[in-house]
Amino acid sequence: MKKATTLLAGIALSATMAIAGDHTIHWGYSGHGGPEHWGELSDDFKMCMIGKNQSPIDLRTDIAFETKLPPIEFDYHTKAFDIVDNGHTEKVDINPGSTITVDGIKFELKQFHFHTPSENRIDGKSFPLEAHFVHADEHGNLAVIALMFEYGKPNETLERIWRKLPEKPGVKHACSMTAADVMALLPKDKSYYRFNGSLTTPPCSEGVRWLVLKTPVTVSKAQVQKFARIMGHANNRPVQPLNARVILK
């Protein structure tokens, strides 16, 4: 149960500080608190340094194991209720009740958020933007759907979020996205790659099911630039070693 609690706690961490034991630990994406030092900042963050199943990764399709992955069963039917700038990303919170089913287990959609540039790569390719849809089962185990954005025409659904983005850490704005709007962010082809990984922020807890959609959707350069300006810095953890893990496709 401790592992599940740690996974759930990791969802809500701030990019500039996190609670480790009785101490406030400041961390970020550069300098002394950057990703290469996360594991040194606290005993609670050691997995960032010693973990063998860390995320993100470069998904090399030439070494991926080809199998018949079952479709992800989506049942999104609840609305978003706010958008929060938590200091390291813009996070859209979802009302309880929307789920996916993976491995016969229901995982409830908690929130989705964004990284620029992308954290995961596909065959070495970095994308200008990546969204993570974070789900948890009744025991706190996580399943994350990763969606890549590539440059093209403006994303109309994304623009509905972008118009309400808070521009200061700690600020939240109301959001009335419907479940249909959330689904509209995703591509029609929902085939995916799968691997076992971790949170991409401290405490870097492992045991996360990663489902990376193969088909990207479009985003305009102006939309990416707006997000990057609000963040003030890149908010992607560098890719981590694959080690003995298998990528499924």
Q: Which residues are CB-contacts of 126 (< 8 A; sequence separation ≥ 6)?
A: 117, 118
Q: What gap in Å lies between CA 85 and CA 172, rounded to an integer?
A: 6
Per annotation, catalytic residue among 26, 77, 88, 113: 88
Q: What gap in Å lies between CA 69 and CA 190, rounded to an integer?
A: 11
At residue 138, the 3 state secondary structure works out as coil
9, two tokens? 């706690």
Q: Using DSSP, how many helices (H) and how many strands (E) does the chain show?
A: 6, 15
Q: How far is CA 152 from the centre of its chain?
A: 22
Respond yes or no: is residue 233 known to be catalytic. Answer: no
Q: What gap in Å lies between CA 143 and CA 63, rounded to an integer?
A: 23
Residues with catalytic roles: 88
